[in-house]
Amino acid sequence: MQKHYDYIILGAGLSGYTMALRMARDAFFGNKSIAIIDADFNKGNDRTWCFWETEPDIFEEVVSYRWSKILVQNDTKATPIEIAPYLYKKIEGKDFYAFAKAELSQHSNITFIEAKVEDYQENGNEVKIQTSEGSLTAGKVLNSIYKPEILEQQNQKVVLQQHFVGWFIRTETPVFYPNVASYMDFNIPQNGNCRFMYVLPTSNKEALLEYTLFSKDLLPKAEYEEAIKSYLKNLGVSTYEITAREQGSIPMTTYDFTQHNTDNVLHIGTAGGWTKASTGYTFKHTVKKSKKLIEFLKSAKPFTVYSLKNRWTFYDAVLLEVLDKHNEKGAEIFTRMFKDGKANHIFRFLDEDSSYWDEFKVIWSAPKVIFIKAALRVLFRK
């Protein structure tokens, strides 16, 4: 096994593979030796990613389904929202991993190393990485291995979780609308939290249902599953087959992960703060941030000057502050955003591509008093 590489990527997940693909497609890195280290390159269908976009991007080839309408509701009378020119898209983990590995395997300068990363240390101009299969070194390291204890050991920034359990189900009778993604259905007991059902139908008898919360504390698994059962019962579904299951917990925080970057180690993905703080959405932000990071790497600037802060960081901090202090208001806040039956300005806002007019419309839709108080707390905490 080769012992030294120009770049080593720790973790073959969304951000690790996306960075590797962008490097493989850029001639600048054609003569650079690149290794990807992961404990398991056969993850299977361990997750589902969804995102909106107006034009095909780097992973269009593995998009498995598209929706032209979304539904956000806090009552039973909501009307599906047409989202053109956007489409809401779904990618399954197994397709993503297979696509990435197949393309990267065609590049002789890219090596896959299946091993558990045990530790790494920076020594001068290189990084020594200790793995379960031995040690190796790199000039630069892109680390996507997230350490929850980093957030657990700080108290300066609000930390919530987007946590969920999902069932892929097949019903005996038609019940779903295949062209409408139920983005946030708040027609479920809130129990003092921001709770909603996320429903992605792929036929009138098949869908992924995720019981999702934006809150601090996880629930016993049985509570998520009972909520899904209750939701199906309310839809009139009594007989169904669960074809697959998934669950997850994604940190929502404006904590500055870039402060842990060093001269030769840069954190990416959730470990680097690439998750959208106010929603927990990661896929589209990884696609965008990876593209910018490629240009940053080519500039040869020190990793310590890499920054993600922008005006949307403040907006995220304010919304997190509101959800932290008034978690029960989540349903009202998010349904008010979509109350005029339009989504495009909200998508641009969440993508951090919004104009000031877009931002004004989003802010104007929010409950004024609690948001002003939250904004003041965020400002004075800085």
DSSP class of 339: T
DSSP secondary structure, 114-179, as one string = E--EEEEEEETTEEEEEETTEEEEEEEEEE----THHHHT--SS-EEEEEEEEEEEEESS----TT
pLDDT over threshold 70, residue 1: no
Give yes or no: residues 56 and 121 share one domain. Answer: yes
Tokens of 17: 């593979």
How deeply is 198 buried, as exposed, middle or buried, from its count of CB atoms within 10 A (0-12, 13-18, 19+)?
A: middle
Average pLDDT of 291-318?
A: 96
* pTM to 2 decimal places: 0.95
Give yes or no: residues 45 and 32 share one domain. Answer: yes
Residue 382 pLDDT: 61
Give yes or no: residues 81 and 127 share one domain. Answer: yes
Residue 355 pLDDT: 97
Sign (positive or negative) of CA dihedral 60, 350, 339, 182: positive
Residue 144 pLDDT: 98
Q: Residue 199 belongs to a domain with what CATH number? A: 3.30.70
Give yes or no: residues 74 and 110 share one domain. Answer: yes
Give yes or no: residues 279 and 241 share one domain. Answer: no
Give yes or no: residues 16 and 109 share one domain. Answer: yes
- Count structural domains, the chain: 3
pLDDT over threshold 90, residue 321: yes
DSSP class of 80: P
Q: Residue 89 belongs to a domain with what CATH number? A: 3.50.50.60
Give yes or no: residues 273 and 128 share one domain. Answer: yes
Share of the chain above pLDDT 90, in %: 95
pLDDT over threshold 90, residue 77: no
Q: Which structural domain range is residue 239 located in?
A: 159-251
Q: How far is CA 103 from the centre of its chain?
A: 23
Contact assessment for residue 6 and residue 34, using Cβ atoms and an 8 Å cutoff: yes
Residue 203 pLDDT: 98
Of 112, 133, 88, the closest CA to residue 20 belongs to 112
When pLDDT is cut at 50, 70 and 90, the band that residue 221 belongs to is: very high
Give yes or no: residues 104 and 240 share one domain. Answer: no
Of the residues 282, 305, 328, the one at which a domain ends: 305
Give yes or no: residues 85 and 96 share one domain. Answer: yes
When pLDDT is cut at 50, 70 and 90, the band that residue 229 belongs to is: very high
* 235 SS3 class: coil
When pLDDT is cut at 50, 70 and 90, the band that residue 340 belongs to is: confident
Q: Torsions phi, psi of 221, nearest 5?
A: -55, -35
Contact assessment for residue 33 and residue 7, using Cβ atoms and an 8 Å cutoff: yes
Sign (positive or negative) of CA dihedral 275, 103, 8, 26: negative
Please tell me the least confidently modeled range out of 136-140, 241-245, 295-299, 339-343.
Answer: 339-343
Give yes or no: residues 102 and 32 share one domain. Answer: yes
Give yes or no: residues 147 and 42 share one domain. Answer: yes
Of the residues 272, 305, 338, the one at which a domain ends: 305
* 223 SS3 class: helix
Contact assessment for residue 167 and residue 53, using Cβ atoms and an 8 Å cutoff: no
Average pLDDT of 160-186?
A: 97
pLDDT over threshold 90, residue 48: yes
Give yes or no: residues 15 and 86 share one domain. Answer: yes
